[in-house]
Structure 1
Amino acid sequence: MQFKPSRTLTRFLGSAAVAALVPLAAQAQDTKTITSWDLRSDTATAKIVRDAMDRFEEANPGYVVEDSHFANDAYKTKLKIAFGANEPPCVFASWGGGPLREYVDSDQVVDLTPYLDANPEFKERFVPASFGSVTFDDKIYGIPAENTAVAVIFYNTEIFDELDLTPPETWDDLMNVIAVLNENNIAPFALANKNKWPGSMYFVLLADRIGGPEAFRKAASREEGGSFEDPVFIEAGERLQELVEADAFARGYNGLDYDVGGSRRLLYADRAAMELMGSWEMASIRNENPAFAEKVDFFTFPSVPGGKGDPSNVVGTLGDNFVSISSACPYKDKAFELLTYLTNDDAAAARLADQRVMPLKGISTEDPFLNKVLEVVGEADSVQLWYDQELPPALGEVHKDTVQQLFGMSITPEEAAAEMERAAQAEAQQ
C-alpha cells in the first residue's frame, strides 16, 4: 500500500517533512525479507551463519534475512507445525532422509537441480556422496551445509591412562573397560537419552556391526526378505540391554536432556569416562570447556562377535545439516543465492575454524581431531544415515520410542522388533 500522509499531518509537519517521510516509507515497503530457520542454537555456530547472511545482504540491497535458531527437538516440532500450516520459512535446515522426503512428496520443497546445473563450479566443490540424503528421484533438494559428522566414542584420556585402559576394539574389550570403570566408581558412559536420538546411536551401530548395512536397507525399503524382526535387530536389542545390565551408563540416563548439556556435564566433572556422540560434540566441548578438550580423544565403535558388519563402517551424515528452500518462499532465486553464501568457501573456512568440516573435495586442516574424523570417513565402506532421519517420520519415532524402552528395560528385544515391523508394514500400506 502506498504511503499517503493525511491533511492534518501535512499541515502539522509541513511539506518538507512529508517529502522526507515518503522515501522512507517507500524504502521500507521495498524491503524483501527471506526467513531462515536452523538448529544452530549455540552462539559460535549461529554467528557463522549470521555472518554469511550479512555478506548476502551487503551484496543484495533491499533484501533482509531474518534468521531464527532453535534447539534440536524444539526445531523438529516447530518445523513440522510450520509445514503443516503451509507457513514454512523460506530457507530451512534438515537432516535429509525421511522427514525431508515427506515435505518433498507434498510439493513443499524446491528442486535445486536446475540451480545446481546452472552453477556447476559451486556444485562440484562438494563430495558427490554428500548429496545422497537429499536426492529423491534423481532430484536434489538440499545443500550440505554444516559438517561431516559420524558417531564416535569420546573418552577421557586421563582416566584411561590412570586405570591403564586402552580404547576397546572388540565387544569383550568394551565390557572389560566398563567393568574396570565401575570398579573405580566412574560411570562408563554419559548418556542424555530424554531426547531419544542419543540412545538410538547405540542400537544403530550395534545393528550395523552385527548385520552390516544390508539388514537395515532391506527392512527399511521393504525388500523381499527384509524385516525389522530380522535376528540382526533382535541381537542389537540384546546387546544394548547387556550394556544396561552391566551398568554401562550414568544413572538417570533416560531423563537427562542432551540439549542442555546433560551428558557433557558428567564428562566435565569426571563422573563419566566416555560418551557415544556425533563428532560435532568436540566443537561443543571446545567452546564450553577448552581445558577439558585437551584431554579428549575418540575411538570408533568396537566389533561384535560373529558380526557381518565391517568395523570400519560409520553411522552419520555427510552434510549435517542440509539447507533447502520451501516452495512457499516468494524469492526462490535469491533464496538459492543465500544458500550459496551459507555454503561457500568463506562459510566453509569459518566452520573449519569451529572444528566443523563441510564435505568438500580436497579440504585440508591442521587440526588433528578433524583429520582423524576425515580419516575414519575415508576408510569407511558404508556411511549409514541415522535411522530416525533415514526412516519416514512416524516410523522414526517408533524406532526412538522402542530403543528408549529397551534402555529402560520395559520391553524385550523381540517385542521392540515386532513393534517396529508392525509400524513399517502400516507405513508401507499408506
Structure 2
Amino acid sequence: MKKFMNRRSSILLAAVGSIALISGYAVVPAQAAGPITFWHIQSTGAGPKLIQDAVDRFQADNPGVKVEVSPIANDAFKDKIKVAVGADNAPCIFPSWGGGPLNEYVKAGAVIPLISYLKKDNYKDRFVPASWSNVTFGGATYGVPVENSSIAVIWYDKKIFAKLKLKTPKTWPELLTVVKTLNKNKVAPFTLGGASKWPSIMWYDYLADRIGGDAFAKAALRTGGSFTDPAFIQAGKMLQDLVKAGGFIKGFNGLNYDNGQSAAPLLGGKAAMYLMGNWLYGDFVGAKRTGDFGFFPFPSVPGGKGDATNVLGTVGDNYYSISSTCSDKANAFKVIQYLIDDKSVTARIAEGRIPPVKGLTLTDPNTIALNKMIANAKGVQLWWDQYLPPEFGELHKNEVQKLMGLGTTPEKMAAAQEALAKKILD
C-alpha cells in the first residue's frame, strides 16, 4: 500500500511556562554563494514586518550574505511554489504546512533533511515535541516550525451576542438555534471565504470528526475505512442543511480570504461569527479590538463518536524548509533560526501568536485560552488538504465548495473522494 504519511497527526501541546533563552548570534562575515531567496505567506497585517525584522538582524550580523525576501499571498503561493519546484527553481527558503504536500517534495528530492542542523547545540530541543510530527518522514525532518500554533475556532462578535442575549453554543442544535435568531434579526450568522476553498473545508472536516471520530484516519490511511462511510455522508447533509437554513452570508462562495473580503463582515458587524484559524486574532490585535471578539470550540454533534476537545490545525504553522537547489544552505538555516529566536518569539507573542517553542510566557487572556484549548485537546488533526496528497487535497476543496453551493450531493462527493482514494492511497 502507498502511504503518504506514516501516522496520524494526533498531537498534544505541552503546558506553558517561561520563555527559554538561547544564546545570541555572533557577527561573522560570510562568503555567500549567492543571494538567499526567501518566499513567505505572512503578507498581511504584522506578518511582513515580523519576517523582515528578523532578516534585517540576520543581515546585520552576516554582512556578506544577501537575503531576497518575497511576501506572497496565501493562495497565489500554493500555485507558484508548485511551478517553481517543478522547474527546479524553488527559493532557498519557503513555507509549508507539512503533511502530504511537503512529503511529495521530499520524495522528489526538492527539499533537504535538516538533521545535522537540528542536532547542533541541541537546537531541536527548543521546540514543543509535537511540532515535528507534520514534517518528519522516514525518520528525517524537513522543516522548522515557526509562525504559530494554529487551530480553527469559531470567532464571534460579543456585542451582537450580548444585544440578542445569545449564549455561545456547545452543540450543533444549539448552533442552529443561534443561526435562526441571528437571521430573524437580519444579521448574517457566518461569514466565509468560499472562493478561496480551503476555509470551507474546515466546516466539513470538523463535522466529519464530531460525527465519525476516527473515520477520517481509517479512510485516509486505508485501515478499514472508506470516504463513503455514513459519517461523511451525514457531515455533508448537515453542512448543506446549514447552508439552506441561511447559515452563511449572502454570496459567501464568491468571497476571497486573501484580500480580506471574508473577514470584513465580522469586523464590520455584518456577520456574527467566523470559523477561522486563531491567526485571525492578530487582526484584532492590530485593530486594537481584542475585547470585541471571543471564540468557542466547534460544537459537538449529539450521538457523534468524535471527542468534543478535538481540533483541526497544527502545532507549527508555518514550517520553513530549505530547497535542495539552494546554493547557501547553511546560511539559509541561520535565517530560519532568526525567524524563531527569542526576539522573534517575543514579537510574535505581542501580535497574538503562539510560537511552537517550549516555555512560553503568555499574558493575553485570549492567547492563554487558545493555548489551553490546544493543550487540552485529545487530538489535533492537520488540515485535510495538507495532511493528504496534493491531488486529493485539491479534489476535497473543490467538492466541498460544490457541496456548499448546493451543486452536488453528499453521496456524490463521497463517491468522488473514495474513487480517488482507491487510485492513489490503496
Fold in common (TM above 0.5): yes
2:164 is the counterpart of 1:163: yes
Q: How does 1:360-371 map to 2 (within 5 A)?
A: 360-371=357-368
Unpaired runs of 5+ in structure 1?
1-26
2:382 is the counterpart of 1:391: no
Query: In percent, how many aligned pairs have the same letter?
Result: 49
Q: How does 1:66-81 map to 2 (within 5 A)?
A: 66-81=68-83
Match of 2:24?
none
Query: Counterparts of 2:87 and 2:273 in 1: how far apart (Å)?
Result: 42
Match of 1:245?
244
Query: Counterparts of 1:270 and 1:336 in 2: how far apart (Å)?
Result: 43
2:217 is the counterpart of 1:229: no
Deviations 1:229-272 (A, max 9, x none): 11111111111111111100000000111111112211122111
The alignment partner of 1:63 has SS state of: coil
Query: Are the counterparts in 1 of residues 45 and 282 from structure 2 also a CA contact under 8 Å?
Result: no
Query: Are the counterparts in 2 of residues 45 and 354 from structure 1 also a CA contact under 8 Å?
Result: no
Q: Whose helix fraction is larger, Structure 1's or Structure 2's?
A: 1
Tell me how far 1:379 sits from its aligned partner: 0.7
Match of 2:218?
218
Match of 1:105?
107
The alignment partner of 1:258 has SS state of: coil
Query: Counterparts of 2:297 and 2:32 in 1: how far apart (Å)?
Result: 53
Structure 2 length-normalised TM: 0.91
Unpaired runs of 5+ in structure 2?
1-28
The alignment partner of 1:377 has SS state of: helix
Tell me how far 1:211 sits from its aligned partner: 1.3
Query: Are the counterparts in 1 of residues 221 and 425 from structure 2 also a CA contact under 8 Å?
Result: no
Query: Counterparts of 2:320 and 2:238 in 1: how far apart (Å)?
Result: 36
Query: Are the counterparts in 2 of residues 355 and 370 from structure 1 also a CA contact under 8 Å?
Result: yes
Query: Are the counterparts in 1 of residues 220 and 425 from structure 2 also a CA contact under 8 Å?
Result: no
Q: Which ranges of 4 or more aligned residues in structure 1 deviate by more than 4 Å?
A: none
Deviations 1:302-337 (A, max 9, x none): 100111111011100111100010000011111111
Letter in 2 for 1:265: A
Match of 1:176?
177
Match of 2:153?
152
Query: Counterparts of 1:365 and 1:170 in 2: how far apart (Å)?
Result: 30
Tell me how far 1:32 sits from its aligned partner: 3.1
Query: Are the counterparts in 1 of residues 32 and 328 from structure 2 also a CA contact under 8 Å?
Result: no
Letter in 2 for 1:266: P
Tell me which of the two structures has the higher relative contact order, counting C-alpha pairs closer than 8 angstroms and 6 or more residues apart: 2
Letter in 1 for 2:216: F
Structure 1 length-normalised TM: 0.90
- The match for 1:90 among 92, 109, 113 is 92
The alignment partner of 1:260 has SS state of: coil
The structure with the largest alpha-carbon Rg is 1
Q: Report the more deviating stretch, 320-329 or 51-60.
A: 51-60
Tell me how far 1:141 sits from its aligned partner: 0.4
Query: Counterparts of 1:294 and 1:63 in 2: how far apart (Å)?
Result: 43
Tell me how far 1:371 sits from its aligned partner: 0.2
Tell me how far 1:361 sits from its aligned partner: 1.5
Tell me how far 1:31 sits from its aligned partner: 7.2
Tell me how far 1:30 sits from its aligned partner: 6.7
Query: Counterparts of 1:241 and 1:43 in 2: how far apart (Å)?
Result: 33
Match of 2:19?
none
Q: How does 1:203-352 map to 2 (within 5 A)?
A: 203-212=204-213, 214-223=214-223, 225-287=224-286, 289-291=287-289, 293-352=290-349
Query: Are the counterparts in 2 of residues 32 and 62 from structure 1 also a CA contact under 8 Å?
Result: no
Match of 1:50?
52
Match of 2:127?
126
Query: Are the counterparts in 2 of residues 31 and 64 from structure 1 also a CA contact under 8 Å?
Result: no
Tell me how far 1:294 sits from its aligned partner: 2.3
